[in-house]
């Protein structure tokens, strides 16, 4: 789809409901689209059945609005993950990117407008494997690696409405919250604020998965089958009873291995092309209080604690992300964040190029492979 075109052209109320209201909470039951059809019919007044809902999801996926349909998995819970960066010389930038992207354990890599100009994520079955990959990347590229594993998760969620004219994530929800406050009305927490907590993340995390759960994660990592009976199809693939698969999905949701189930929106296609990672130097004694307060802001899509690396002249310990359609709007929200919530030194690292973007691959995580060979 051309990004210049209005991606919302020809979408109706049913499409809008699927896009904005079913990024999570998809039913874990044998025929989930039947329930979705009933719910959408009640909300929109459109007489629609499960087959048409399924066709709509297929259409939105084929059009590029959805990346996929299925589960959003949580790599730090299942295995050991870290954000990392290198300072790639411009004349070798593509060469360095090719080496880094060659590892199946690297699922994201972005150019950012900073001295540390290439930022990537490594997810492996163990801390030892993860660190071995980083060491190998350093040796093969000749570039020092800045390793910044997540230590505390305050708020991480890329689920937000996109069928709107918002300049930044959840702008309309923020405006609604301000209006409600002015009138004395109670805000809807789903649109105006977010539930946050300081959740510690272990670098030695292992999912402690049963054989069925391990097989299930491998089967669904690329998405669910787009059929009337997705869970039964997955059950057939892993040679299990559908009731056992449904129970396993519920357990993985409860344990945090699966973050949500629904339609995964492509934020680039829907116009949210400007995202900025802002790093802050927050006093350690204020970190949790500030992190929870900032994570509760509706326009902050990610908020987490990563270590300082003073030996590498990296002084920042709090990371936030803001997604927007316009760079100016994102910058304005960062200004607001600095003025009202985080009055500390910070840097703004805009992503300027996507070098690799895939889902984390879970073969190594669930089998705890110790190999680190590139693809």
**pTM (2 d.p.):** 0.79
Q: Looking up tokens 């209005």, which residue turns up?
A: 6
For residue 83, the surrounding DSSP H or E stretch is strand 80-86
Angle at which helix 211-220 crosses helix 230-238, to 10 degrees, equals 120
**Residue 354's closest CA among 115, 158, 106, 169?**
106
> Going residue by residue through the chain (375 aa), what tens digit of pLDDT does each one get?
444 458 888 899 999 999 999 999 999 999 999 999 999 999 999 999 999 999 999 999 999 999 999 998 877 677 788 999 999 999 999 999 999 999 988 989 999 999 999 999 998 878 888 999 999 999 999 999 999 999 998 876 667 778 888 887 877 766 544 444 333 333 343 344 445 566 766 566 555 688 999 899 889 988 999 999 999 999 999 999 999 999 999 999 998 888 899 999 988 888 888 889 999 999 999 999 999 999 989 889 889 999 999 999 999 999 999 988 888 999 999 999 999 999 999 999 998 899 998 765 555 555 543 333 444
Question: How many whole angstroms separate alpha carbon 48 and alpha carbon 41?
Answer: 6
Q: How far apart, in Å, are the Cα atoms of 46 and each of 8, 37, 49?
A: 19, 9, 10
């Amino acid at each position: 789809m051309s990004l210049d075109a209005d991606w919302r052209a020809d979408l109706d109320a049913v499409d809008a409901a699927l896009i904005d209201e079913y990024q999570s909470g998809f039913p874990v039951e044998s025929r989930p689209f039947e329930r979705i059809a009933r719910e959408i019919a009640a909300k929109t007044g459109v007489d629609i059945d499960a087959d048409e809902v399924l066709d709509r999801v297929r259409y939105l996926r084929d059009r590029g609005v959805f990346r996929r349909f299925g589960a959003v998995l949580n790599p730090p819970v299942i295995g050991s993950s870290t954000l990392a960066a290198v300072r790639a010389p411009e004349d070798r930038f593509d060469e360095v990117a090719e080496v880094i992207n060659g590892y199946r354990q690297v699922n994201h890599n972005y150019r950012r407008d900073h001295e540390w100009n290439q930022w990537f994520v490594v997810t492996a079955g163990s801390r030892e494997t993860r660190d071995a990959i980083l060491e190998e990347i350093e040796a093969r590229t000749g570039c020092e690696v800045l390793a910044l594993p997540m230590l505390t998760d305050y708020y991480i969620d890329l689920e937000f409405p996109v069928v709107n004219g918002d300049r930044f994530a959840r702008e309309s929800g923020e405006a609604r919250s301000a209006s409600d406050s002015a009138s004395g009305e109670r805000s809807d927490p789903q649109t105006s604020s977010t539930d946050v907590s300081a959740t510690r993340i272990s670098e030695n995390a292992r999912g402690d998965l049963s054989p069925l759960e391990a097989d299930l994660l491998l089967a669904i990592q690329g998405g669910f089958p787009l059929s009337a009976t997705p869970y039964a199809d997955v059950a057939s693939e892993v040679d299990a009873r559908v009731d056992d698969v449904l129970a396993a999905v519920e357990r993985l949701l409860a344990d945090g291995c699966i973050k949500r189930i629904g339609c995964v929106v492509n934020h680039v296609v829907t116009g949210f092309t400007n995202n900025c990672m802002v790093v802050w130097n927050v006093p350690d004694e204020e970190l949790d209080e500030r992190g929870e307060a900032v994570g509760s802001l509706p326009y902050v899509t990610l908020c987490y604690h990563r270590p300082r690396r003073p030996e590498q002249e990296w002084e920042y310990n709090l990371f936030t992300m803001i997604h927007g359609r316009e760079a100016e709007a994102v910058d304005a929200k960062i200004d607001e964040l600095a003025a009202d919530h985080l009055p500390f030194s910070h840097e703004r690292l805009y992503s300027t190029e996507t070098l690799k973007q895939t889902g984390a691959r879970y073969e190594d995580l669930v089998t705890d492979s110790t190999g680190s060979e590139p693809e």
